[in-house]
Amino acid sequence: MIKIFSDPDELNHYAADKFIEIGNSSIDENGRFTVALAGGSTPKTLYKLLTSDKNRSQLDWSKVFFFIGDERFVAPDDAESNYRMAKENIFSPLDVKAENIFRWQTEQLDPDKTAERYSNEISAFFELKSGEFPRFDLILLGMGDDGHTASLFPHTAALKEIARIAAANPVEKLDTVRLTFTLPTINNAANIIFLVTGAEKSDILAKILNSEPDPDNFPSQAVNPPNGRLFWLVDEAAAKNLK
Ligand code: 6PG
């Protein structure tokens, strides 16, 4: 489902309400709400909005379990860290307990070990058997202007990963290794929300949503949960080239 909003503020208010709605129904059904946060800059406003007096009172945060959908291979207090962004904008303001937060252990010396450790922690949390994937109640995603999502960049190895829950992903164009949920993990979610704003995303968004599937070039096209709901929340500036 694609919903177009007049501006980011309207989009984020809708996203906050949807987050709380999914959270409460997950808690009603399963006694907990498992959510993987997106990194980058777009979600910051949503995270701050969730900590408003109005919103913070609408969810039992002690039953919310936070994961990070992708991460840079930097220390958790690094300015580039998605965990640090989440901590500053949602975990600290809501006083989320450490046992409710599952982050990538980027203190490891080897990104592959970091990814393996995160996969094992997620597997233990969801009590998975070997070969099973977690089913997050909600995964939030952003989209880069090259069509990447999480840290699944065009033409990178992790796009083809079908066995692991999380993977280290060398990204040549950034000259770095990123850490990311794999597509089987993302596509096993019960709900996925893409947050896309700004005119700079209008060309790529039109390609992602209006052109033939080409996930190696446009990774966001590969997000399609067979047993879940997919929401594209976009503002008018990003949607201006959509058919
Ligand atoms: C990251 C994000 C990444 C992000 C897109 C969009 O680690 O940077 O997870 O996938 O969502 O790059 O970033 P903006 O929201 O900053 O445009």
Residues contacting residue 112 through CB under 8 Å, at least 6 positions apart = 168
What is the average pLDDT across 105-109? 91
pLDDT in tens, 146-188: 999 999 999 999 999 999 999 999 999 999 999 999 999 999 9
Cβ count near 1 (within 10 Å)? 7
Query: Is residue 61 a contact partner of residue 51, using CB atoms and an 8 Å limit?
Result: no
For residue 146, give the amino acid letter: D
Tell me the pLDDT of the chain averaged across its residues.
98
> Could you tell me if the CB of 142 is within 6 A of ligand 1?
yes
* pLDDT-based confidence at residue 69 (cuts at 50, 70, 90): very high
Residues contacting residue 45 through CB under 8 Å, at least 6 positions apart = 8, 9, 12
Query: Is residue 90 a contact partner of residue 52, using CB atoms and an 8 Å limit?
Result: no
Atom from ligand 1 closest to the CA of residue 141: 11
Looking at residue 109, its pLDDT comes to 83
Report the length, in residues, of the chain: 243
Nearest to 103 by CA among 145, 132, 63, 73: 73
Residue 222 CA to ligand 1 center (angstroms) comes to 16
pLDDT in tens, 174-184: 999 999 999 99
Residue 143 CA to ligand 1 center (angstroms) comes to 6
Both structure tokens of 238:
């990003």
Atom from ligand 1 closest to the CA of residue 198: 17
Looking at residue 218, its pLDDT comes to 97
Distance of CA 80 to the CA centre of its chain: 16
Residue appearing with tokens 């500036």 = 237
> Could you tell me if the CB of 149 is within 6 A of ligand 1?
yes
Which sign, positive or negative, has the C-alpha torsion 63, 106, 140, 17? positive
> Could you tell me if the CB of 184 is within 6 A of ligand 1?
no
Percentage of the chain exceeding pLDDT 70: 100
Both structure tokens of 145:
């202007």
> Could you tell me if the CB of 40 is within 6 A of ligand 1?
yes
Distance from C-alpha of 200 to C-alpha of 209, rounded to nearest angstrom? 15
Looking at residue 111, its pLDDT comes to 98
Both structure tokens of 184:
């089987």
What is the average pLDDT across 84-97? 98
Distance from C-alpha of 128 to C-alpha of 139, rounded to nearest angstrom? 18
Q: Which helix (H) or strand (E) holds 128?
A: none
For residue 170, give the amino acid letter: P
End-to-end CA, the chain: 15
> Could you tell me if the CB of 70 is within 6 A of ligand 1?
yes
Q: Is the pTM of this model over 0.85?
A: yes
Residues contacting residue 155 through CB under 8 Å, at least 6 positions apart = 216, 217
> Could you tell me if the CB of 180 is within 6 A of ligand 1?
no
Query: Is residue 24 a contact partner of residue 59, using CB atoms and an 8 Å limit?
Result: yes
Nearest residue (CA) to ligand 1, atom 13: 40
State yes or no: pLDDT of 108 exceeds 90. no
Residues contacting residue 173 through CB under 8 Å, at least 6 positions apart = 153
Atom from ligand 1 closest to the CA of residue 82: 7
Distance of CA 24 to the CA centre of its chain: 19
